[in-house]
């Protein structure tokens, strides 16, 4: 199979698209900006969701489900929320179709107009805090630790599969607390949950940090984020966790009776990650032959390709590997024996490389006779001949090695592409010629931040947590600064 | 706690509402007809979803995700689909909000009008078959066995929590096949999956059958269903599986190259169950004290209520039951030790009865001394004193017993309320005075079916599968009939 994948060097953006489409992860749909998540892509999302869901539950959260629709008036209740938030939303204005009197299909019934328009949720703070109002009366009702898995819609003008689509899937946690301290702790706790997921499951190193005021979520007092580096050196925000203070409690009048019998406003957090993570996963690890998926998120771990001429040979090979298949399944390692007769082994090899299956076994009659098997790992493309005896345990260890290796490779790449920059010339040269993150001093003003963005397209990705405090001068204005921040161009 | 639950006898409908609201399963929202599924209700849905999802995967299906929006023109491509399907849909006409020039919040931007309106999916056949067109070329691409977990919207005028809401959660399977035989087999297979789920997990006996032409899904050649009896004798359709023939393939021009090298239209099925099942679960089993949830779907299996006066006593009790808690968790039995000091044991007992926790343990200091524990089962409300030694295994067996008992009770009730009726007088008397299902002969015409519905509000729930063939006369028209069908009033 000629996979026809554009190389990264040639056109990184087209390479990404090729992987998504040819790797069977997603497809464009007939609806502008909306994607179809295909079974192979959805299987990755299911693995992500299950792992995250367990982490949320282990930290005391429960799931619930809130309406898809938000009354238009709710959006303007929290002033900075609507001010800062994109107003590109899908708006429902009618609730009925009728047959076209001209006999051509259906038309919208003009008499079925809603009194108040409904917005498809772009995020659910407003509808949820309007509900929390009825759920929270006393300190005994707190904390409220709720998460929702849902679809949301933002009418993006320029869309890219997984990275930016009009509709996407996500989870949004919305918690309510009696004290500011507790809410801030929750915000930070969930940021660390995201970081752990990114590093341990996605094998993707991230920088934990705070956003500048400019980049904060609309309505948040503080926005925390994890930032990852893609192979082209650009940043991708992989998750955010917001401390919302009492802003939404004020807007929706959510008060509780504290232990001293006094009414107080509730403190809020919200935090979310989305199907965008699939885009991050692809861009962080894959190569010009196709996807590289860390074993912990791979829908299929092992493929066994038999190489044979006769049905009798195929039978022999199958009987030989059958106990291995059982053994792997018992270890929760998914495995496929590909005996499709219509495709040649070479074609299959290329196909499973494209799909990023971590381990490929090939066994021909010579292996059969000598008790060996060929093992190819997807991440390094190394092949080796192994004794078939004990291969189950070998594969189990190999999958762990692959997971670690993918992470280490991404981390080495990331670390070698964060550059400390101290002058404006150096900054301009670096951003143009050395893809990656720039660590530089900044004077803390929105003006400088915006000017740098305007001149270089680089934004402040975050102010790293536990940042080293050091006196310095702003790389642009020369004004005094106390710490370095991370600049990059971003997805 | 006075639970203030209306009794079934007094007002069945209000009893149902009380259980949903006071049992903390769901809440009305500020959006007309949309509900909020609260954590306890959502936990039941998660258990349902996980069990069904496993059954779908075990039968070869994979999950995918298709857009929320359907272009208006798609709906009218399959003529009978749009003709028969409710036209009460949410319609998106605009994609942007702007600040109100009068300074009062936001308004819809009149210039941001969509060229073609988008409908929020009421079901996804059209958008999915429009996609399948690009995925299916050859017999090698078939069968396509895909399921989707999603939210859908139908603008219902009269809504009831879980049973009929504008937005609800469901799964919809959409499969494509090379032959009619295979598609019909798939339709029936999935009906049996639903029946197995209803009986084994929900402990709810169901009748498997076919719908009459009148009651068929819009666009289907044949609709199969499972019908359950609620405690008021009314029927509830708990799942449907449709054989769609080549209707959607025709409408969206989905052809494949068969093994003989000829173009053919693809055969389709679709099948779905929704959060409506939670309504069915409640109405099938619960009593005037609250919910009765079969252990296999119960979010919490066992609650332990300590009865004590001093902190020292509480400590002793906790130390005593700690190994039991570990033991139960290891058996995947969820357990809560309720040491909330602000509530009395009697209050807690009533609360867990309301929530339908299958097993309640109570232990006071006398039990502690004598090595016993009080065990109360929710389904029968029987209490007994058991030796604490070995109680873990006792509970494991008890949960199985409860699951079986709930099913047997529902089945005995159902079976004793299916009545064979042979005359029109008897039919009228039975439908008015003896709640339940009526098994009667029907002449097979839509006219008779509609007349009976008009006169009695009873509809034909289904023509049971494997129905006994017997000559008879239609209960209404007196015309000849070959089999009995099931009539009932329905949710």
Residue B138 lies in a domain: yes
Residue A424 lies in a domain: yes
Residue B358 lies in a domain: yes
Q: How far apart are CA B140 and CA B138, in angstroms?
A: 5
Q: Do B64 and A37 touch (CB under 8 A)?
A: yes
d(CA A32, nearest CA chain B) in Å: 10
Residue B427: which residues within 8 A CB-CB, separation 6 or more?
B421, B438, B440, B452, B456, B475, B476, B487
User: What number is the ipTM of this complex?
Assistant: 0.96
* Chain A hits for B146, Cβ within 8 Å: 39
- The stretch B420-431 carries a mean pLDDT of 97
Q: How far apart are CA A59 and CA A188, in angstroms?
A: 12
* Chain B hits for A109, Cβ within 8 Å: 87
Residue A2 lies in a domain: no
- A92 touches A117 (CB < 8 A): yes
Q: Which residue has the tokens 């702003």?
A: A474
What is the CATH number for A168? Answer: 3.30.930.10
- The answer, for B351 touching chain A at a CB cutoff of 8 Å, is no
Give the pair of three-digit tokens for residue A336. 């496929």
Per residue in A23-39, pLDDT tens? 999 999 999 999 999 99
Of B257, B285, B313, the last residue of a domain is B285
- Looking at the fold, whether B194 and B217 belong to one and the same domain comes out as yes
Q: Do A120 and B27 touch (CB under 8 A)?
A: no
Neighbours of B141 (CB within 10 A): 15
How many structural domains are present in chain A? 3
Q: Which of B491, B456, B449 is nearest to B474 (CA)?
A: B449
Query: What is the pLDDT, as a whole number, of residue B86?
Result: 66
Q: Which of B269, B355, B252, B34 is nearest to A95 (CA)?
A: B34
What is the CATH number for A465? Answer: 3.30.110.30
Query: What is the pLDDT, as a whole number, of residue B427?
Result: 98
Residue A109 lies in a domain: no
- The stretch B93-99 carries a mean pLDDT of 94
Q: Do A94 and B96 touch (CB under 8 A)?
A: no
- The answer, for B76 touching chain A at a CB cutoff of 8 Å, is yes
- Interfacial B residues in 144-183 facing A (CB < 8 Å): 146, 150-151, 153, 155, 167, 169
Residue B310: which residues within 8 A CB-CB, separation 6 or more?
none
Query: What is the pLDDT, as a whole number, of residue A86?
Result: 67
- Looking at the fold, whether B333 and B260 belong to one and the same domain comes out as no
Neighbours of A338 (CB within 10 A): 14
- Looking at the fold, whether A215 and A268 belong to one and the same domain comes out as yes
User: Does an H or E element contain B368, and which?
Assistant: helix B365-370
- Tell me the helices (H) and strands (E) count for chain B, helix number first: 14, 26
Instruction: For residue A359, give its domain range.
Output: 302-398
Task: Return the beta strands (E) in B187-313 as ranges.
Answer: 207-210, 222-229, 235-245, 255-257, 263-265, 267-274, 302-306
Give the pair of three-digit tokens for residue B351. 């609360």
**Residue A288 confidence class, pLDDT cut points 50, 70, 90:** very high
- The answer, for B142 touching chain A at a CB cutoff of 8 Å, is no
Give the pair of three-digit tokens for residue B303. 């609650």
Per residue in B335-388, pLDDT tens? 999 999 989 999 999 999 999 999 999 999 999 999 999 999 999 999 999 999
- Looking at the fold, whether B170 and B261 belong to one and the same domain comes out as yes
Give the pair of three-digit tokens for residue A61. 């959260």
Q: Do A119 and B140 touch (CB under 8 A)?
A: no
Residue A480 lies in a domain: yes
Q: How far apart are CA B320 and CA B363, in angstroms?
A: 10
CA atoms within 13 A on the CB side of A339: 15
3-state helix, strand, coil in chain B (%, to 5): 35, 30, 35
- The stretch A195-215 carries a mean pLDDT of 97
Query: What is the pLDDT, as a whole number, of residue B1?
Result: 42
Q: Which residue has the tokens 């919809």?
A: B172
- Strand A235-245, strand A267-274: pairing: antiparallel
Q: Is it the case that residue A1 has pLDDT exceeding 60? A: no
Q: Is it the case that residue B318 has pLDDT exceeding 90? A: yes
% pLDDT > 70, chain A: 99
- DSSP annotation of B266 reads P
Give the pair of three-digit tokens for residue A28. 């464009």
Residue A43 lies in a domain: yes
* CA distances (Å), origin A488, targets A439, A459, B448: 9, 6, 73
Residue B202: which residues within 8 A CB-CB, separation 6 or more?
B48, B277, B280, B281, B284, B294, B297
Give the pair of three-digit tokens for residue B485. 């069908």
- Looking at the fold, whether A337 and A224 belong to one and the same domain comes out as no
Q: Do B75 and A105 touch (CB under 8 A)?
A: yes
What is the CATH number for B321? Answer: 3.40.50.800
Residue A315: which residues within 8 A CB-CB, separation 6 or more?
none
- Looking at the fold, whether A127 and A230 belong to one and the same domain comes out as yes
Interface test with A, best of B21, B46, B71, B87 (most A CBs within 10 A): B87
Of B256, B285, B314, the last residue of a domain is B285
Residue A102 lies in a domain: no
- The answer, for B318 touching chain A at a CB cutoff of 8 Å, is no
Of B338, B373, B400, the last residue of a domain is B400
């Amino acid at each position: 199979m000629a996979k026809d994948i554009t190389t990264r060097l040639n056109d990184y953006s087209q390479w990404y698209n090729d992987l998504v489409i040819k790797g069977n992860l997603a497809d464009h749909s007939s609806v502008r900006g909306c994607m179809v998540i295909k079974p192979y892509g959805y299987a990755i999302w299911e693995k992500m969701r299950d792992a995250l869901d367990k982490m949320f539950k282990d930290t005391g959260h429960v799931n619930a489900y809130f309406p898809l629709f938000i009354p238009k008036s709710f959006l303007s209740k929290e002033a900075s929320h609507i001010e800062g938030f994109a107003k590109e939303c899908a708006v429902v204005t009618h609730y009925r179709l009728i047959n076209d009197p001209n006999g051509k299909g259906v038309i919208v019934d003009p008499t079925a107009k809603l009194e108040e328009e409904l917005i498809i949720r772009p995020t659910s703070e407003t509808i949820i805090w309007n509900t929390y109002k009825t759920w929270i009366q006393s300190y005994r009702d707190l904390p409220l630790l709720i998460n929702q898995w849902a679809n949301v819609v933002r009418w993006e003008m320029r869309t890219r599969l997984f990275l930016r689509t009009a509709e996407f899937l996500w989870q949004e946690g919305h918690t309510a607390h009696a004290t500011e301290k507790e809410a801030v702790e929750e915000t930070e706790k969930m940021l660390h949950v995201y970081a752990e997921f990114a590093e341990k499951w996605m094998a993707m190193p991230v920088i934990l940090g705070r956003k500048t005021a400019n980049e904060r979520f609309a309505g948040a007092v503080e926005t925390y984020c994890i930032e990852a580096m893609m192979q082209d050196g650009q940043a991708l925000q992989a998750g955010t966790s917001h401390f919302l203070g009492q802003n939404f409690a004020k807007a929706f009048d959510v008060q509780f009776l504290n232990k001293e019998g006094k009414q107080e406003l509730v403190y809020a957090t919200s935090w979310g990650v989305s199907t965008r993570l699939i885009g991050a996963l692809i861009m962080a690890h894959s190569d010009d032959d196709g996807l590289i998926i860390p074993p912990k998120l791979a829908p299929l771990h092992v493929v066994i390709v038999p190489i044979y001429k006769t049905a009798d040979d195929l039978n022999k090979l199958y009987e030989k590997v059958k106990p291995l298949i059982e053994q792997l399944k018992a270890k929760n390692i998914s495995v496929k024996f590909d005996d499709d007769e219509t495709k040649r082994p070479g074609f299959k090899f290329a196909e499973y490389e494209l799909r990023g299956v971590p381990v490929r076994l090939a066994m021909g009659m010579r292996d059969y006779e000598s008790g060996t098997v060929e093992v190819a790992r997807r991440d390094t493309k190394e092949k080796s001949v192994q004794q078939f005896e004990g291969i189950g345990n070998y594969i189990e260890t190999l999958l762990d090695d692959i997971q670690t290796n993918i992470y280490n490779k991404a981390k080495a790449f990331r670390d070698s592409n964060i550059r400390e920059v101290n002058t404006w010339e150096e900054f301009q040269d670096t951003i143009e010629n050395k893809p990656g993150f720039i660590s530089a001093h900044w004077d803390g003003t929105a003006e400088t931040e915006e000017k740098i963005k305007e001149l270089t397209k680089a934004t402040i990705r975050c102010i790293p947590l536990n940042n080293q405090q050091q006196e310095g001068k702003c790389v642009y204005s020369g004004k005094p600064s106390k710490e370095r921040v991370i600049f990059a161009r971003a997805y």
